[in-house]
């Protein structure tokens, strides 16, 4: 009888030793460095089970043993579902850390930057070409509906979904700016503020000038003067679908387009681009400035004037700069780039 108990104790001890060794070995393998030599992104497909996930990870060189990965999922003391998506896996990631990463749902965040002043047609083309987004664009998007900024997205997000976020951000930004608008503006509603902001966006790329450009147009609206803006006239010719790639002609300035602000009084019927936050703020809070005119100053900015006489002097100065640049372009110094000529608006 004593011999029997000795054998039982022996086998119990042996089993415990073997189990302890197996657990130690298994734990060691779970926390050991993985085979990945450099950081790598991997996509876990939607609906993938443990077998499929293990196969993907092994094929990508992230794990060495597919079966061990499946075991790691089974013995996880606090099991959580693995979320599909695109993950960035650091080099030498252990099996345990890999499981935790895939359970965290911390997928790769991609980014798309929409520049200020682009037209809706340009934004839609940009979104169509953006990799990792899915689905066709079916959302009804009009000019000025989308707020330019940087948007983060994940693989397999939809194009309509990203555009919806852009529309929501524009709505929020426009609402906030309209609530904080300066008193007495000659703007009937936030839609007109958006139209003005789009013109400001196209007229200047200098942050310090936006509020002053806004003041010029506000002053002109108050006096029932024509806005005489080249960008609006250009939009009437192109509908925002492509650059004009030429100077405006006399015929262009006499066109009957409702966007030709040389011929019609007041704002055009709609935005001419998607303005950024700064231009929207400038439209609703213009500078306290009496200027009625501005023209390019030859240094990337504009010269402002309160009288036509002063403006004509600024225009003459700008035309002299244009003539000098034209002469330089005809006989350029080797290696010296020529500066493109900017439009001079408003003209009168």
- The reported pLDDT for the residue numbered 68 is 80
Q: Rounded to an integer, what distance in angstroms lies between the CA atom of residue 122 and that of residue 305?
A: 34
CATH classification of the domain holding 95: 3.30.1490.480
pLDDT of residue 84: 87
Phi/psi for 65 (5° steps) reads -125, 110
Q: How many domains does the chain have?
A: 3
Residues 227 and 316 in one domain: yes
Q: Does 178 reside within a domain?
A: no
The four Cα atoms 129, 104, 55, 67 give a dihedral, to 10 degrees, of: 180
Mean pLDDT by 10 residues, the chain (348 residues): 50 45 49 84 88 90 85 72 89 86 89 97 96 95 98 95 98 98 97 98 95 98 96 94 90 93 96 98 97 92 95 93 85 46 44
Q: Are residues 200 and 323 in the same domain?
A: yes
The verdict on 231 and 304 lying in the same domain is yes
Q: Is residue 199 part of a domain?
A: yes
The answer to whether residues 125 and 240 belong to one domain is no
d(CA 85, CA 62): 16
Domain region containing 218: 187-330
pLDDT of residue 28: 56
Residue 66: what pLDDT? 85
Residues 306 and 191 in one domain: yes
25: left (phi over 0), alpha (psi -120 to 50) or beta: alpha
What gap in Å lies between CA 109 and CA 308, rounded to an integer? Answer: 53
Are 200 and 313 within one domain? Answer: yes
Residues 159 and 277 placed together within one structural domain of the fold? no
Task: Examine the fold and report which residue of 104, 122, 153 is the final residue of a domain before the chain moves on.
Answer: 104
**Pair 122, 97 in one domain:** no
How far CA 177 is from CA of 58, 126, 182, 189, 250, in Å, comes to 53, 27, 10, 11, 37
d(CA 201, CA 190): 16
Residue 170 has a pLDDT of 98
Does 157 fall in a domain?
A: yes
Cα separation, 254 vs 319, whole angstroms? 22
Same domain, 45 and 95: yes
Give the model's pLDDT for residue 78. 66
Q: Are residues 48 and 143 in the same domain?
A: no
Q: Is residue 45 domain-resident?
A: yes
- Is residue 268 a part of any domain in this protein? yes
100 assigned to some structural domain? yes
Instruction: Pull the structure tokens for residue 3.
Output: 């011999």
The reply to whether 266 falls in a domain is yes
Q: How far apart are CA 102 and CA 106, in angstroms?
A: 8
Question: Are 162 and 285 contained in the same domain?
Answer: no
Which helix (H) or strand (E) segment holds residue 192: the answer is helix 190-203
């Amino acid at each position: 009888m004593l011999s029997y108990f000795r054998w039982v104790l022996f086998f119990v001890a042996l089993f415990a030793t073997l189990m302890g060794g197996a657990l130690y070995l298994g734990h060691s393998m779970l926390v050991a460095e993985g085979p990945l030599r450099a950081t790598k992104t991997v996509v876990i497909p939607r609906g993938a089970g443990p077998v499929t996930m293990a196969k993907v990870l092994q094929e990508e060189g992230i794990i060495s043993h597919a079966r061990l990965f499946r075991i790691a999922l089974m013995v996880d003391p606090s099991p959580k579902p693995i979320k599909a998506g695109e993950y960035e896996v650091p080099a030498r990631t252990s099996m345990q850390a890999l499981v935790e990463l895939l359970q965290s749902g911390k997928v790769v965040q991609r980014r798309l930057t929409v520049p200020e002043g682009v037209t809706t047609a340009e934004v839609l083309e940009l979104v169509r070409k953006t990799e990792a987004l899915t689905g066709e664009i079916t959302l009804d998007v009009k000019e000025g509906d989308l707020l330019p900024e940087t948007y983060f997205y994940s693989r397999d997000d939809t194009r309509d979904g990203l555009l919806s976020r852009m529309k929501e951000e524009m709505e929020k930004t426009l609402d906030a700016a309209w609530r904080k608008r300066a008193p007495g503006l000659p703007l009937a509603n936030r839609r007109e503020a958006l139209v003005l902001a789009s013109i400001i966006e196209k007229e200047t790329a200098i942050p310090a000038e936006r509020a002053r450009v806004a003041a010029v147009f506000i002053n002109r609206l108050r006096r029932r003067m024509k806005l005489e803006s080249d960008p609006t006239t250009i939009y009437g010719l192109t509908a925002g679908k492509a650059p004009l790639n030429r100077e405006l002609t006399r015929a262009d300035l006499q066109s009957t387009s409702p966007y030709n602000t040389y011929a019609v009084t007041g704002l055009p019927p709609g935005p001419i681009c998607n303005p950024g936050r700064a231009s929207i703020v400038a439209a609703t809070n213009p500078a306290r400035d009496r200027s009625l005119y501005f023209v390019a100053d030859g240094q990337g900015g504009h010269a402002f004037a309160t009288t036509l006489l002063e403006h004509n002097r600024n225009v003459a100065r700008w035309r002299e700069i244009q003539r000098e640049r034209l002469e330089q372009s005809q006989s350029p110094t080797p290696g010296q780039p020529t500066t493109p000529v900017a439009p001079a608006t408003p003209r009168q």
